[in-house]
Amino acid sequence: MLEVTGLRVAYGGIQAVRGINFHVAEGEMVALIGANGAGKTSTLKALARLLNAAGGSVRFRGEEISKLAPHALVSAGIALVPEGRGVFPRMSIVENLQMGAYCRSDKDAIAADIEHIFGLFPRLKERARQMAGTMSGGEQQMLALGRALMSRPKMLLLDEPSMGLAPIMVQKIFEVIRTVASEGMTVLLVEQNAKLALETSQRGYVMESGEITLTGDAADLLSDPKVRAAYLGE
């Protein structure tokens, strides 16, 4: 579904992503793990067209998307849940969810999808009219995920959904991520929590200093001594 070849991202003279190759098959959940500054967010931003890649090709369902405008990307079926969530703080929960559907015009289906999101996250329903900026970090992460789903994406890009959240909230968020994946969603999951990411995914890539240094089945990576030493604190 997603085929990335030779992707490069640079900030001025700094090479953040140095020509990486990876792919995600339809219906797969794939983890991209690595330490601070490895280039994970830069990779997702390039995929979501929030920045221009310095080189390389990104094919999504057979189509080259590395030059598309960000809104065209949403229409093509890719939704990013950004690091730090990026909800609209002065809009209510319902308004944030409606914003997620801005590229759609099927009013009845949009209303039904909002109800579906409320089913996944009852907490959001209880607070439907609350300003998003006044919600807790975990609630904002739920909302960011819900908003991304409102575009009815074919693929989700998740940037550190567990960051800064209490364990119980992480559990709740990942329960929903697993549910969505089990319903057929294709997911690229960026996480510093390598254990959680690999336990949730089928395959994984390890990124270090802008390069992919290791890849394999998630279970194999979880038992790999190098991964255990570098990312699982052993």
Ligand X SMILES: Nc1ncnc2c1ncn2[C@@H]1O[C@H](COP(=O)(O)OP(=O)(O)OP(=O)(O)O)[C@@H](O)[C@H]1O
Which residues of this chain interact with ligand X, rule CB under 6 A?
A: 11, 14, 16, 34, 36-42, 83, 192
113: three-class secondary structure by DSSP:
helix
Q: Which stretches of the chain are DSSP H helices? A: 40-47, 70-76, 93-100, 107-120, 122-126, 137-149, 167-182, 194-200, 218-223, 225-231
Q: Which is nearer to ligand X, 11 or 102 (CB)?
A: 11
Q: Which is nearer to ligand X, 7 or 177 (CB)?
A: 7
DSSP-assigned letter for residue 153: -
Q: How far is the CB of 42 from Mg ion (least distance, A)?
A: 8
Query: How far is C-alpha 206 from the geometric centre of its chain's CA atoms?
Result: 16
Q: What are phi and psi of 138, to 5 degrees?
A: -65, -40
Q: How far is the CB of 93 from ligand X (least distance, A)?
A: 26
Q: Which is nearer to ligand X, 101 or 157 (CB)?
A: 157
Q: How far is the CB of 160 from ligand X (least distance, A)?
A: 6
The Cα–Cα gap between 234 and 206 comes to: 17
Residue 172 touches which of ligand X, Mg ion, none (CB < 5 to 8 A by kind)?
none
Residue 57 touches which of ligand X, Mg ion, none (CB < 5 to 8 A by kind)?
none
Q: How far is the CB of 98 from Mg ion (least distance, A)?
A: 28
Q: Which is nearer to Mg ion, 1 or 16 (CB)?
A: 16
